[in-house]
Amino acid sequence: MSVIVLNKLLAIFCTVALGWVAGRLRWLGEPAGGIDPARLLGNAAFYIFVPALLFRTTARLQVAEMPWSTVVAYFVPVVALLLAVYAVERLRRRGRRAADLDSAERDAAAPAVRSVTSVFGNGVQVGIPVVTALYGEAGLGVHIAIVSVHALVLLSVLTVLVELDLAGVRAAHDASASVLRTLRNTVRNTLIHPVVLPVVAGALYNATGLPLPGPLDETLQLLGTAVAPLCLVLIGITLAYTAGRTVLGAARGAIGLSAVKLLVQPALVLVVAHWGFGLNGLPLQVAVMMAGMPVGSNALIFAQRYRSNEAQATTAIVLSTLGLVLTAPLWLAVLARLG
């Protein structure tokens, strides 16, 4: 790996470490009294900063200029993997009975949370410097095309899945619920959502062909730039506020999810994109390397939103970022053999 990439990885770990120190020293207060600083920051990211980023990205997306063949070749296997992990997790939890509605909702959200942890990559903080160092401006253009719709596609699919699961749990605990009422609530909760709503609104604005007004664009850009550092600090704070025994208990699952992200996903993208869609050369190399990026911080934001598997998502982010040092050279060697 180049010095540039290693410096970026070091910067990520330093930012996470700063969050951990802030958490250990309780700079933001104790996680008690109904106010959990980690959850407060997670909600700020999920309800303010991430929606701003998604709306601006969607509203400014140059649809006609997108390399759609590469984008489709990337997302078909990635979404297939997402659905496979989700299906396996649903099967593992079939027949479980929670003591109360709160526990049932956390358990219902777990398949979607584990799915996002296994497929959502860090395409910005890590992906951009890695691809730039390896493939220059040409490769970065392909990478940005994938990244521009990465959160839009994956988070939207996962939101639909988790809201359907939660609707089923709530209906089971509400004897007065009807099919029509359950369907109406599911549609409402899916559309009026901090991930889906800004994507839909951005797409509608994009369809008008109008540019974003200067002040609005600057405001959204300013809010969007806060996502990366806020999420990295949040990872450190969450680790500090989580009991060591809980982190160790989550490590086994986190290792498995990290292996899926760093090994299974790029292998699947390589096979499907190359032999299924005929992708070759630079687009194939960028797609595979993007698939091999470590778990992105949005996985923790998603876990925080649904209060499920937060320690596992946090641990997987850290472990997979460390693991990239070993797996990136592996995929570069495989791609070199393909020419």
Burial of 85 (0-12, 13-18, 19+ CB in 10 A): buried
- What local confidence, expressed as pLDDT, does residue 131 receive? 85
CB 262 within 8 A of CB 324: yes
Among candidate residues 143, 144, 189, 149, the one with its CA nearest the CA of residue 166: 189
Which range, of 69-83, 129-143, 249-263, 312-326, averages the lowest pLDDT? 129-143
180: Cβ contacts below 8 Å, ≥ 6 apart: none
Torsion angles phi and psi, residue 174, rounded to 5: -120, 105
Tokens 């790029």 sit at which residue?
266
Question: Would you state the structure tokens that stand for residue 2, as one six-digit string?
Answer: 């180049």
**How much of the chain is in helix, strand and coil states, percent to nearest 5?**
80, 0, 20
Query: Higher pLDDT residue, 264 or 102?
Result: 264
Domains of the chain, with CATH numbers? 3-27+41-338 (1.20.1530.20)
Mean pLDDT of 301-314: 89
User: In this predicted model, what pLDDT tens digit does every residue of 174-215 receive, in sequence order?
Assistant: 666 555 666 676 667 667 777 778 888 988 999 999 999 999
- What local confidence, expressed as pLDDT, does residue 175 receive? 61
- What local confidence, expressed as pLDDT, does residue 220 receive? 94
- What local confidence, expressed as pLDDT, does residue 99 receive? 65
User: In this predicted model, what pLDDT tens digit does every residue of 258-294 receive, in sequence order?
Assistant: 999 999 999 999 999 999 999 999 999 999 999 999 9
Query: Higher pLDDT residue, 32 or 47?
Result: 47
Query: Higher pLDDT residue, 287 or 38?
Result: 287
216: Cβ contacts below 8 Å, ≥ 6 apart: none
Which range, of 50-59, 259-268, 311-320, averages the lowest pLDDT? 50-59
User: Side chain identity at 39, as an amino acid letter?
Assistant: R
DSSP of 269-294: HHHIIIIIT---HHHHHHHHHHHTSP
- What local confidence, expressed as pLDDT, does residue 287 receive? 97
Which residues share a beta bridge with 310? none
- What local confidence, expressed as pLDDT, does residue 26 receive? 85
Tokens 């309800």 sit at which residue?
47
Torsion angles phi and psi, residue 268, rounded to 5: -65, -45
Query: Higher pLDDT residue, 37 or 89?
Result: 89
pLDDT at 168 over 70: yes
Print the SS3 string covering 247-264: HHHHHHHHHHHHHHHHHH
Which residues share a beta bridge with 35? 32
Question: Would you state the structure tokens that stand for residue 265, as one six-digit string?
Answer: 């996903």
User: In this predicted model, what pLDDT tens digit does every residue of 109-134 receive, in sequence order?
Assistant: 999 999 999 999 988 778 877 887 78
- Average pLDDT taken over every residue of the chain: 86
Length of the chain: 339
Q: What is the CA radius of gyration of the chain?
A: 20
Torsion angles phi and psi, residue 98, rounded to 5: -90, 155
Distances (CA, A) of 314 to 108, 157, 195, 292: 19, 21, 20, 18
CB 168 within 8 A of CB 21: no
3-state secondary structure of 225: coil
pLDDT at 1 over 60: no
- What local confidence, expressed as pLDDT, does residue 98 receive? 63
User: In this predicted model, what pLDDT tens digit does every residue of 241-255 receive, in sequence order?
Assistant: 877 777 788 888 999
- Give 32's DSSP letter: B
Which range, of 56-65, 89-98, 202-211, 265-274, averages the lowest pLDDT? 89-98
259: Cβ contacts below 8 Å, ≥ 6 apart: none
CB 107 within 8 A of CB 93: yes
CB 82 within 8 A of CB 157: yes
Query: Higher pLDDT residue, 145 or 96?
Result: 145
